[in-house]
Amino acid sequence: MFETTPHTDLLTMLEINHLRLEAINLYDRCLAEGNLVPLEKFIEQQLAYDPPQIQLLSDIANDLQQRLLTLKAYHFDIRQKIVVMFDEMYHIDVTDMMPADKLDVYHIIQPERVLMYVIEQGVRIEEDERMVVLEVLRASRETAGHLHSDILLTEKLHDMILDWIYALSVSSVRSGWQMFNWASKPDAKHIH
């Protein structure tokens, strides 16, 4: 039987780390291409191993969770910068137009409506300044749209991996339980 030594443990850790980095590179490719396929194929390859490396899948899920938190924080910051801009430049609160609890629709705000709301509140904005404000709002909306897509894609990948981890864990427990059950059954041919 192959014995586990500190050397083999180190090789396993290095291999897992290498595969984890490969997965993160594929995740970045997924974001760039806007589809799940590169990382999905990688995960399918890992699931084909017998036994699949649950630790690797867990590490990838943790990495995706961290990326998801970062994306969501950046998404919030994009909106917050606009709120602060209007507060500092025009002393007006625009949170009614873009509430923090509705970040998932921030990317579909209409810059013209936001500007009209500000003007309707009695704020005077010169025509050339209006154009700049509209461009800033459009850029913010565009960035938020990209972030929203990245968040959705990351959530799908993260959920897919968690589902596989759960399924593999349940399968592992069931097979272990079946072996335990089989080993603990008395032999019918053996008479006490």
Each residue's pLDDT tens digit, 34-58: 999 999 999 999 988 877 788 899 9
Q: What are the extents of the domains in the chain?
A: 7-157
Closest CA to 141 of 172, 105, 117: 105
pTM: predicted TM-score of the whole model, two decimal places:
0.81
Residues 1 and 73: their CA atoms lie apart, in Å, by 49
Q: What's the confidence (pLDDT) of residue 170?
A: 72
pLDDT digits (tens, 9 = 90+) for 167-189: 887 765 555 555 555 555 555 55
User: Average per-residue pLDDT in the chain?
Assistant: 88
**Per-residue pLDDT reduced to its tens digit, 60-81:** 999 999 999 999 999 999 999 9
The residue-averaged pLDDT of 105-127 equals: 95
